[in-house]
Amino acid sequence: MTELSKTGAAVGEPTSGRQAPEAFLEVRDLKVHFPTDDGVVKSVDGVSFSLEKGQTLAIVGESGSGKSVTSLAIMGLHRLGTRGKNVRMSGEIWLDGKELVNAAPDEVRKLRGREMAMIFQDPLSAMHPYYKIGDQIVEAYRVHHDVSKKVARKRAIEMLDRVGIPEPAKRVDGYPHEFSGGMRQRAMIAMALVNNPELLIADEPTTALDVTVQAQILDLIRDLQKEFGSAVIMITHDLGVVAEIADDVLVMYGGRCVERGPAGEVFEQPQHPYTWGLLGSMPRIDRETSERLIPVKGSPPSLINVPSGCAFNPRCPYADIPKGNVTRTVRPELEQVSTGHWSACHLSAEDRQRIWTEEIAPKL
Amino acid sequence: MRRSALAAIAAIGSASLLIAGCSKADDNKNENGNTKSAGANAATKGVVNASDKKGGTLTYELSDVPDSFDPGNTYYAYMYNLSRLWARPLMTFKPGAGEEGNTLVPDLAAGKGVPSDGGKTWTYKLRPGLKYEDGSPITSKDVKYAVERSNFARDVLSLGPNYFQQFMADADKYKGPYKDKSAKGLSSIETPDDTTVVFHLKQAFQEFDYLVAAPQTAPVPQAKDKGVDYVKHIVSSGSYKFQSYEDGKQAVLVRNENWDAKTDPLRKQLPDKIVVNLKVNPETIDQDVLAGKAIDLAGAGVQASTQADVVTDPDKKAGTDNTFGGRLVYMAINTKVAPFDKIECRKAVQYAIDKVSVQTAEGGPIRGEIASTVLPPDIPGYAKSDVYATSGNKGDVAKAKEQLKACGKSSISTNISARSDRPQEIDAATAIINSLKKVGINASLKQYPSGKYFTDYAGVPKFTEKQNLGLIMMQWGADWPSGYGFLQQILNGKAISQSGNTNLAQYDNKDVNALLGKAIGTQDTTERNSLYTQIDKKTMDDAVLVPLTYFKVLLARPQNYTNLVSTAAFSGQYDYLNIGVASK
Amino acid sequence: MISYILRRTFAAVILLLVVSAVTFAIFFLLPRLAGQTADQLAQQYIGKAPSKADIAAVKHNLGLDQPVYVQYWHFIKGIVAGADYSIGPTTVHCDAPCFGYSFKNHQAVWPELTSRLPITLSLAVGAAVLWLVSGVIAGVISALKPRSVLDRAFMGIALTGVSLPMFFTGNLAILLFRYQWPIFGSEYVPLTENPSQWANTLFPAWCSLALLYSAIYARLTRSGMLETMNEDFIRTARAKGLREGTVITRHGLRAALTPIITVFGMDIGLLLGGAVITESVFSLHGIGQYAVQGITDNDLPKILGVTLLAAFFVVIANLVVDVLYAAADPRVRLS
């Protein structure tokens, strides 16, 4: 995430856009709004980041924080389906030199599955129940490759083998419901990687799986990433996963980025009270079982009526520390804390440092 | 939203009906300029479109299915009418307008029956040279056999009437041709030679010519009789024979080449082909009739919706015939259910009923004229009379209450029955209930299905007495157009039976019984008819039934067909003997 | 699979036996229990003023003089082994399956049913194709553009379709297409004789019947599509880069259609037992019309025959639907 400082500075300067960046994937001030009868749902409200090949970015947040919509927007999937008919979207998404927000839908479609692929949370519902696993992989391959079914089938078996499914030549003719959860997710990964995509987005790929299988799947993704050299966006609410796999972390809250930076730094020196909350609620093997988890109190904000000021202020135990009610009136902007590490919080650096070292870190 | 959408579609519907109607009228004028409507009721006064033009296909349509095409197994008036095309009875009715159609003429017989023994023996001579469709000769034995199979094998051919079984001498000893295989058959029908048939009756019966006008006397060759399956291979003695027959669906008739006009002064054999389509949607029948393409075989008149369309348009009305259907709509007063055993209570009912409201419920003047006698105007013996006349036929509350008082009652509680599947009958009964309420007679409506009305309910005297069924709705048409044919089943005290009874008033009057017996033994027609008038009068004086309306039908006259004449002999239907096709 | 079908067929036979027994009981036993004598029952099938001997003979011919269970045994035996009937001058053999003879006009029931079946079949299948195609297309379009003008128009037509009685639509169709614009014939011709006239005659009936049903199918398809198009696997299909048309048909419709197969099979099965009103309105001599005739005449063998035939079709439709469903959805196993 070496480019972050550069691109981060570009936020709020739209005139400097429209120029292909050097990063493999660059997202600039992305906004995805869904007008509804009750008001505009601001699912994503100004998010920027970039990502290089071979790197892994973890986007972390609660459900409804906008992390999934961000990934769907990159894939161009947010505007398909009944909900996407009147979506409003702005900003820029650059993938390998091509801008996707303003590209023709069919252009984006041709990139989907080939240059960028996605793994979904629940492989059982994400795979068509009526088609054989192999046929679904074959279909994914043949959209982008003009080959015979036979060739595609060979490729499907090869991919199943690659993701560690035993007896792939046999399982290729199995149906999704005949696979175990882990095997299904492996198949899903095989399907996503069948076209050697350069960007792989994994949307909570391990949530639906049990813990031992989770680790296997993460290992698999990491191995495959090494092998294919793809960029990976890992969407998760589980910081354990982040610690395991991510190079960089982006923490989202209420449709906006509240903190981002290199994984090690975010874990060692988290800057945002929300990040603290996330860390506090993370189960750890090295933690003593008697110690209770510290959950983030309250519920995620409404995306229609986002709280004024800092969106996190109703849940933030430190909201009253900054003077002049600023947390409730002024929206904090991302500020660089250290190289590549950004945070959006009204607390002063001193206060943050004090709270972190005195109150939070000892409990973790 | 939904209402308006429906309304819009309904509007489209009626608009298209209008369009259809208009263009239809135009079509008729363009197609046959010569067949301009002869005017309303023209076919009740004479033959419309009289023509000897041959060829074409004549189509009959029926919304129902007939009981049978077998002449020995049918009881429907329209089948009596139509079956003459393939089954010639000894006598038949002369095709003629209205009551002129009641005239009997010999058909298979060379002349009218010759009575002897005071009307107990009737002798008929067949015409010479008669042949079946296969060319084999028709003999008097075949006539005898036809009567035997139709009247004495009722476990097989059960659907026709059994007058011969009732009237022939020695009838109770004979088991019918299917069980009694002896060559002799029924001893009271003799065939001294191949062209003579002699009937011996139990008692004098001066209207025997009417009886032998039934299709049951049409000859059936014994060798070809397969009992119930004869209907599939009927051997024609008439001008047409069956080309195909599909039970419940369709029959197609073509010319019978072995029919000889020289043996038949009545039939003309005009169309090449006659198609009888069964189970046709009634609305479709009306449309086809109005388009001149078909005849409604049942002859019961057009549907209510069509009627409304036809009577309001003078052009269309000119193409209709509104005629009596030989039927009386009435209400029987059950003389065995108290307090209607008292004549004053019966008279109270007579005076109380507003007949105009009943007529309206039955469908207005087009569907029936207000009645005041038992015999309808198209039956011989009818004489105009109104014993219980009220102002404007609207009932007379004062007179009714007076009679009620004389009966010793201030109010009566009783039941009235009607057939549940006949909405007009139910409406009429409801109108009667409203009339009666005004004078203190409270009647509750009881509905029974028409299929079992006589076998299980109104026709079972014990049932009516148990259920306090004092008033019974009814319609009646004669089996043959005479006073006897009309009256004896509904007024004869000896005809009361424990089930299937049609003398619903359970009227058992010595004088009436005697008059009926006397009339049927009277040879002179005028004298006989005056006896029927007397019976009618006596019945009305006894107030046992309330005549409501003389049933009328509204027939649409197909413009494209020739020789259309509405005859009283077949309930006002067109006479089906000689209808031809004008064009195409 | 084979054993499943065998088992189901066996169950179907049992079910049909039960249906026949119940029907038999309703029409033969209930009147007896209600106090009607065999004489009264027999009298319905004779004309006017029957003598005691007439009634006795008819009672014997129709078998009404025997206990009901014996009558039922004869009926079942007739279906399996055929029966001999001696009514009138000759003894007629009625081949298996012998469903007996009409009490009214003594015509055998089975040949009548088989001769009418092609008509009912023609009506049902023709209409079914129309309503399935039109209903599904309308439903898909409506689902893809919910609340659009097209959606509202289709659903409006659908609502009107189910609301309007066949007496209205049928008669209107007849009036418009046979009289106003006489492009369609009125005389039914078997498919084997003249396919174009067959279709020509039946077309207005198909349309009227299809209007009634396509409404239901449009709504079913619409709600099914709305549901499946929000499924995760649709998102997956899109993520693969498939064209939207492929996504809708191969992934969305494929899943949405499966429950419709069930309804469709049952509807066809029911219709094969006779489309009573449609057949009456369009003057088609099908099973439904035969049933009506049987009921009007209280002609028990006819009613029994139609009931059993209808039950047979429903049972078969059930079986076919289950097998088809298993074929369509690999998650379903036949056991």
Tens-binned pLDDT, residue by residue, of chain B (584 aa) = 333 333 333 333 343 443 343 333 333 333 343 445 678 999 999 999 999 999 999 999 999 889 899 999 998 899 999 999 999 999 999 999 988 999 999 999 999 999 999 999 999 999 999 999 999 999 999 999 999 999 998 888 888 888 999 899 998 889 899 988 888 899 999 999 999 999 999 999 999 999 999 999 999 999 999 888 899 999 999 999 999 999 889 999 999 999 999 999 999 999 999 999 999 999 899 999 999 989 999 998 898 888 988 988 898 899 999 999 889 999 999 999 989 999 999 999 999 999 999 999 998 999 999 999 999 998 999 999 999 999 999 999 999 999 999 999 999 999 999 999 888 999 999 999 999 999 999 999 999 988 788 878 999 999 999 999 999 999 998 889 999 999 998 999 988 888 788 999 999 999 999 999 999 999 999 999 999 999 999 999 999 999 999 999 999 999 999 999 999 999 999 999 999 999 75
Determine the distance in angstroms separating the CA of A117 from the nearest CA of chain C, rounded to an integer. Answer: 7
Determine the distance in angstroms separating the CA of C146 from the nearest CA of chain A, rounded to an integer. Answer: 8
ipTM: 0.86
- Can you tell me the distance from the alpha carbon of A330 to that of B461, in angstroms, rounded to the nearest whole number? 100
The two three-digit tokens of residue A332, written as one number: 């904090």
- Give the chain C residue nearest A200 (alpha carbons): C239
Pair A295, A277: CB distance under 8 Å:
yes
Q: Show the beta-strand stretches assigned E in chain C.
A: 83-87, 90-94
- Which residue in this structure is represented by tokens 């029908």? B189
Residues 6+ apart with CB under 8 A from C92: B229, C84, C85, C86
C245 touches chain A (CB under 8 A): no
Which amino acid is it at B15? A
The two three-digit tokens of residue C317, written as one number: 């439709």
Give SS3 for A194.
coil
The two three-digit tokens of residue B142, written as one number: 């075949």
| B228 closest CB neighbour out of C105, C283, C285 | C105
Best C140, C227, C233 member to test A by mutation, with max A CBs in 10 Å, is: C233
Q: Which chains touch A (3 or more CB pairs under 8 A)?
A: C
Q: What is the number of other CB atoms lying within 10 angstroms of the CB of residue A74?
A: 23
Contact A113 C239 (CB under 8 A): yes
Q: Show the beta-strand stretches assigned E in B62-173.
A: 91-93, 104-106, 114-116, 121-125
**What are the tens digits of pLDDT across the range A224-266?**
898 888 999 999 888 888 888 899 999 999 999 999 999 999 9
C258 touches chain A (CB under 8 A): yes
Q: Which of B326, B265, B373, B321 is nearest to B99 (CA)?
A: B326
- Can you tell me the distance from the alpha carbon of B447 to that of B456, in angstroms, rounded to the nearest whole number? 12
Identify the segments of chain C with pLDDT beneath 50: none
Domain C112-334 is of which CATH architecture? Orthogonal Bundle (1.10)
- Can you tell me the distance from the alpha carbon of B162 to that of B148, in angstroms, rounded to the nearest whole number? 10
Give the N- to C-terminal CA distance of chain C in Å, as an integer.
Answer: 8
Q: Which of B426, B350, B436 is nearest to B387 (CA)?
A: B350
Q: What number of CA atoms fall less than 13 Å from residue B160's CA on the CB side?
A: 30
C240 touches chain A (CB under 8 A): yes
Domain B1-319+558-584 is of which CATH architecture? 3-Layer(aba) Sandwich (3.40)
Determine the distance in angstroms separating the CA of C259 from the nearest CA of chain B, rounded to an integer. Answer: 29
Distances from the Cα of B498 to the Cα of B161, B171, B461, B544, C32, angstroms: 18, 22, 6, 19, 19
| C231 closest CB neighbour out of A114, A117, A125 | A125
Count how many pairs of residues, chain A against chain C, have C-beta atoms within 8 Å: 79
Determine the distance in angstroms separating the CA of C243 from the nearest CA of chain A, rounded to an integer. Answer: 7
Entry pTM: 0.81
Domain boundaries, chain B: 1-319+558-584, 324-553
CATH topology for B324-553?
Answer: Dipeptide-binding Protein; domain 3 (3.10.105)
**Amino acid B566: pLDDT:** 95
The two three-digit tokens of residue B510, written as one number: 């010595």
Domain boundaries, chain C: 2-109, 112-334
